[in-house]
Structure 1
């Protein structure tokens, strides 16, 4: 299958980087969103390659300082300035963004096609998102992008442990933020402060519970309920008190606790059965939610049971 957008290996090749781990979500209809981590600690001085021209943007969170960055658009140098770690930059793929790679660099790149930006703008009376407001080579101090980037880097480091619902949730939030902050989209008035109907809550929870691995997409569940992804996510949180990905983690822990009451069942088997990638992943999540490790919880539970 041919890759559609500028992310992953296609982006890595353009930026002269051999490693380009990527997380992808298709939570907005047919639009693909992606985040790619690109790093090169020993680059061969050269200008970056041309990327595919398309109606999309790259939003970049810089993870390392890059002094005297020479930025190009449409075949000419447009600015030369110091890039600071923690800053956010925008690049319009219609304008052939490139820069001179002559120093080590490390960045996250969010691939945001216009179709995705317009999807979050599709509300009654809502305008389409126009051109994003940015100046080539000028960074923004964007706390939201830093937070999303830090959260998704964990998934990029451990892709086998990534909860797809979490990736969908974070990328949806980022797309809405970019549309509002750089595209002039006004935050929509809440159509209703109510949550899901009881039958919707049951169906959504059943669908999530049927696949504890978290591979099911938010778009699929929302479509089954006749809702947009953003409406579903908001209403689900109102009804259950948790966003879908957090609710699923709670269900994984609940399932693991039930399995741990079976004596002599190895924790490694319990981890896989409860939807975790491996025992290490299970231990980290369980400890963060319950406050003790699975082994300690099991010993305490067994001790209490032996006394009865």
Structure 2
């Protein structure tokens, strides 16, 4: 059986890497898999890359390292030699067997976006489906792809700390941007459907609070409310001022503050109870939101409580 899905192990085979590179995935558009894979090789064996299985899907590639005189093939034909610069974005149509000559160090992020995800995006918003993406072999100076790539690299480096809600939200944003910038997609304004009903907001918050680890997919929460993942994400932000993944981080911090208001549990115990991957993860997020480290916050609160008792 032909294996599709140009991410993870498929990218390793395509680039002849020794092991599967770090990958994050989401299934928030009709449960269609969208993925990002970080691929790097500082000392490759020269030769032509492998082939992906032909499928109606695209790779959006953010280059993180210069690659001079890159030779590109499509459908078995050499089509171009060009200097590829770090920070540029290229789009590849997987129906035409894109390949390139690997003869120097490389480092890239590869976003796998299947046709079904693009169709799902259009159907969820009531917009017209796009015909195709612009995959001309030129590099794009795309600040949005760079920003999304930088955000996701944190999750790729620390997968145990990756908030699935954040991955879902960010990959939805990437798909919508690619559809708009390279496919002419125009999002249909949803008018009065822009806000969550009070019962929807209450249920969404209950679901988020019940899974402090953030592993519950965005689509699962949205489905309980009868909404698409993209609409739910926008409506939740309109109601709370924060996207779901940021709201969850703030709730984790609120939970940690409640636990640290008592002298019992250690900081590592607080970290796990509040949904953080470890104490280091807890310290970084808490400090960023509260403006002070957990230890300093606890010292001040317990010290103030002791003074009141005297």
Task: Identify whether the pair has TM-score above 0.5, normalized to the shorter chain.
Answer: yes
SS of equivalent to 2:200: helix
1:55-66 alignment runs, 5 A limit: 55-66=56-67
Is contact 1:39–1:105 with CA below 8 Å preserved after alignment?
yes
Query: Once the two structures are superposed, what CA deviation does each residue of 1:163-210 show, in whole Å capped at 9, x if it has no partner?
Result: 000000000001011111111111322423742000000000000100
Look up the match of 2:221.
221
Q: d(CA) in 1 for partners of 2:17 and 2:109? A: 13
Q: d(CA) in 2 for partners of 1:114 and 1:174? A: 14
| RMSD across aligned positions (CA) | 1.3
Look up the match of 1:39.
40
Is contact 1:22–1:34 with CA below 8 Å preserved after alignment?
yes
Look up the match of 2:278.
278
Q: What is the aligned length?
A: 306
Q: d(CA) in 1 for partners of 2:126 and 2:294? A: 51
Look up the match of 1:243.
243
Is contact 2:40–2:106 with CA below 8 Å preserved after alignment?
yes
Q: d(CA) in 2 for partners of 1:80 and 1:49? A: 18
SS of equivalent to 2:186: coil
Look up the match of 1:154.
154
Task: Give how far 1:217 is off.
Answer: 0.6
Is contact 1:72–1:78 with CA below 8 Å preserved after alignment?
yes
Task: Give how far 1:10 is off.
Answer: 1.4
Look up the match of 1:24.
25
Task: Give how far 1:30 is off.
Answer: 2.3
1:278-297 alignment runs, 5 A limit: 278-297=278-297
Using a 3 Å threshold, how does the CA distance of structure 1 residues 175 and 223 change in structure 2: closer, same or farther?
Answer: same
Is contact 1:260–1:270 with CA below 8 Å preserved after alignment?
yes
Using a 3 Å threshold, how does the CA distance of structure 1 residues 241 and 299 change in structure 2: closer, same or farther?
Answer: same
Q: d(CA) in 2 for partners of 1:229 and 1:32? A: 14
Is contact 1:63–1:107 with CA below 8 Å preserved after alignment?
yes
Using a 3 Å threshold, how does the CA distance of structure 1 residues 163 and 124 change in structure 2: closer, same or farther?
Answer: closer
Task: Give how far 1:124 is off.
Answer: 6.6
Query: Once the two structures are superposed, what CA deviation does each residue of 1:13-39 show, in whole Å capped at 9, x if it has no partner?
Result: 211223410001011112100000000
Query: Once the two structures are superposed, what CA deviation does each residue of 1:251-292 show, in whole Å capped at 9, x if it has no partner?
Result: 100111111122131111110110000000000000000000
SS of equivalent to 2:40: strand
Q: d(CA) in 2 for partners of 1:125 and 1:238? A: 20
SS of equivalent to 2:78: strand
Per the normalisation by structure 2, the TM-score is 0.96
Is contact 1:118–1:129 with CA below 8 Å preserved after alignment?
yes
Work out whether 1:180 is the aligned partner of 2:183.
Answer: no
Look up the match of 1:101.
102
1:199-214 alignment runs, 5 A limit: 199-214=199-214
Between stretches 105-114 and 116-125, larger displacement belongs to 116-125
Task: Give how far 1:134 is off.
Answer: 2.4
Is contact 1:59–1:88 with CA below 8 Å preserved after alignment?
yes
Is contact 2:262–2:302 with CA below 8 Å preserved after alignment?
no
Work out whether 1:74 is the aligned partner of 2:75.
Answer: yes
Is contact 2:127–2:187 with CA below 8 Å preserved after alignment?
no
Per the normalisation by structure 1, the TM-score is 0.97
Look up the match of 2:261.
261
Is contact 2:125–2:190 with CA below 8 Å preserved after alignment?
no
Task: Give how far 1:7 is off.
Answer: 0.2
Using a 3 Å threshold, how does the CA distance of structure 1 residues 176 and 8 change in structure 2: closer, same or farther?
Answer: same
Work out whether 1:234 is the aligned partner of 2:230.
Answer: no
Query: Once the two structures are superposed, what CA deviation does each residue of 1:63-96 show, in whole Å capped at 9, x if it has no partner?
Result: 0000000001100111000000000000111110
Is contact 2:122–2:187 with CA below 8 Å preserved after alignment?
no
